[in-house]
Amino acid sequence: MKVLRTPDSCFAKIKDYPFEPVYTNIIAKDGSVIRIHHIDEGPKDGPILLAMHGQPVWSYLYSRMIPILTEAGIRVIAPDLVGYGKSDKPAAREDYSYQNQVDWMGEWLKKNNFQNLTFFGQDWGGLIGLRMVAADPNRFVKIAMGNTGLPYNPNAPQEVIDEVNEFRASNKKISFFEMSKTVSKMDKSKHMATKFMYWQKFTWDSKNLPIGLINSWQMESQFRKSPVKAFIHILLQGIGLEKISPFYTDLMKAYEAPFPDPSYKMGPRAMPSQVPMIPDQSLDAQRKAREFFKTSDKPFLAVFAGNDPVTNGAEKDVLKMAPNAKSAPHIGGGHFFQWTKAEPLSKILIDFIKE
């Protein structure tokens, strides 16, 4: 397996991320060495929160929450998934699977021997982290998750499966704006897979995926208020000049930093297609993990924004999957509420950890 490593210099000018890096080497199934990055902040004797990010972000997403959490006496462990942030980046599409991510992060967890964890995961951080909890439950004392779930769709109608597969294999070109508009209607569709497929196809077909723009669209207002700015930025990125864009914010720089060139972006491009919106190779593993949560008595908190169309439909499924789960009040903030609602989300997690 060819593995890329982002030079440290790429992260030199990131604003408001003063955390010391910690690196762990794991061995993949083929014998390749993969270096996984995490940060470890707060009192060493405090209760531990394992905070896992999703797509297409990295542990920088938690940088607003970490000072709030550590001030409350909580130790925060926040890793970067393989393919993201300061962690190594396998170079081929076939390297990225749901199971590989679970295996890689599970090895990272064992290598560091973390114990007595409260888990919090969002987006892919939830999909991967919930599987890690089910596989190694004795390391965890409490479970929280937000704007995510553990998708399990064994009975998806065949016509939906055919529609998704045909669409993703087609030559149809999906623009950023078409993708955004369609995904924003996910919770209003008969089957979410027929909207999520636009995100899957857009990310894979975009060789230089506009990660900074995608995250700014979710966490900042400039592009949503002025799509013309987004159009100009996309044009500049298309010719490799995004760094001179007049709309290139500090947040965008932070999310583009892990990717010196498009070859480093294979993880963010490939992982959306691994979300099991229709039956795939992860079906049995998902079923087993969900069976664990059906009978687990570990405290479980579901924290949803309530205004995130990507995951609005997941809350009922999570509460059904985990009968002992409690649902926190909706706090808004959209998909990446770790950034947009850092204080209220931190307070919810602090109360959950300390109660």
On whether both 149 and 24 belong to a single domain, the answer is: yes
Which domain-ending residue is among 274, 305, 332?
Answer: 274
Residues 264 and 296 in one domain: no
pLDDT tens digit sequence for 108-137: 999 999 999 999 999 999 999 999 999 999
Range of the domain at 326: 3-153+280-354
- Do 83 and 218 sit in the same domain of this protein? no
Q: Reply yes or no on whether 37 is catalytic.
A: no
Same domain, 189 and 304: no
CA dihedral of 59, 61, 65, 67, whole degrees rounded to 10: 60
Same domain, 118 and 60: yes
Q: What is the mean pLDDT of the chain?
A: 95
302 and 256 housed in the same domain: no
Do 308 and 205 lie in one domain? The reply is no
Beta-carbon contacts of residue 315 (< 8 Å; ≥ 6 apart): 302, 304, 327
Q: Of 233, 256, 274, which residue sits at a domain end?
A: 274
* In a shared domain, residues 138 and 9: yes
Query: From CA 45, how far away is CA 275, in angstroms rounded?
Result: 36
- How many domains are there within the chain? 2
Task: Write the DSSP string, 192-203.
Answer: THHHHHHHHHHH
Residues of the chain with confidence (pLDDT) below 70: none
Exactly one of 88, 95, 103, 308 is catalytic; which is it? 308
Q: Respond yes or no: is residue 335 known to be catalytic.
A: yes
**Last residue in a domain, options 254, 274, 294:** 274
Q: Could you give the CA distance from residue 141 to residue 301 in angstroms, rounded to a whole number?
A: 12
Catalytic residue among 123, 187, 233, 284: 123
- Contact between 25 and 35 under an 8 Å Cβ cutoff? The reply is yes
Whether residue 145 is found in the same domain as residue 287 = yes
Mark whether 120 and 202 lie in a shared domain.
Answer: no
Tokens in use for 290? 């969900």
> CA 70 to CA 49: how far, in whole Å?
10
pLDDT of the residue at 243: 79
Whole-model pTM: value is 0.96
